[in-house]
Amino acid sequence: MEDAQSLDRMPEGKTYVYNARRYLFDVKVPAVVAAIAFFVAGYFALAGMFTPIAIGVMVLCVYVLFNTLVAKTYPQTAALVDGELRLVSFGRTDVYRVDEITRLQVRENAMTHNAYLRVNGGGLLRGRYFVGCGDMYDENGEKALDLYQFFLDTEARLDPDNIRVRSRTVESRKNAKKN
């Protein structure tokens, strides 16, 4: 029953694209800042100035650049088409058949509607995503709230006993009562 409901609510056939300006400031600018900081810190490390701090900064910059450009964790486009979840970032498209997703771990920000996802456990190079549903829009200019809800519903469908999922259900029921 829960399965069917969750799949029924799936916003099938919809493609959401990150607002271009927001993507620039949320994803591209931090990557550029990290790249610059990496070289500046590298210079300091080689010159023997603030070496431990400089190495620390370099490690963090590598994390930012790796996530953005290698693991491609910040999708610019997300689509639910033909029973597939498609996430596109910097030219790479990751495709997951919805009925083949066995595990979806979601850490949501209810305020901004952004979500951190791990699909099927997630890996170093594929399966981890920061999806900015609050800044993504479909062709009609509607925010990707359906997509955000789809992630939550899918996690609830696959792991209904999870205490966070239950807590979320209780919270949304309370909020619905309040409103």
**Residues forming the site for other proteins (CB under 8 A):** 21-22, 25, 29-30, 33-34, 37, 50, 53, 56-57, 59-60, 63-64, 67, 105, 107-112, 114, 116, 118, 128, 130, 161-164, 166-167, 169-171
Q: Between residues 25 and 43, which has the closer beta carbon with respect to other proteins?
A: 25
Q: Which is nearer to other proteins, 43 or 63 (CB)?
A: 63
Closer to other proteins by CB, 93 or 109: give it: 109
- Among 74, 57, 167, 82, which residue's Cα sits nearest to residue 114? 74
Number of Cβ atoms within 10 Å of the Cβ of 179 = 5
Shortest Å, Cβ 50 to other proteins: 8
Residue 102 to residue 127: CA distance in whole angstroms: 12
Spatial separation of the C-alpha atoms in residues 32 and 22, rounded to whole Å: 15
Residue 89, beta-bridge partner list: 92
Least CB distance from residue 43 to other proteins, whole Å? 15
For other proteins, give the closer residue by CB, 86 or 103. 103
Q: Closest separation between CB of residue 56 and other proteins, Å? A: 5
First-to-final CA distance of the chain: 26
SS3 call for 78: strand
Q: Do strands 104-109 and 114-119 pair parallel, antiparallel, or not at all (unpaired)?
A: antiparallel
Query: CB of 78: closest distance to other proteins in angstroms?
Result: 18
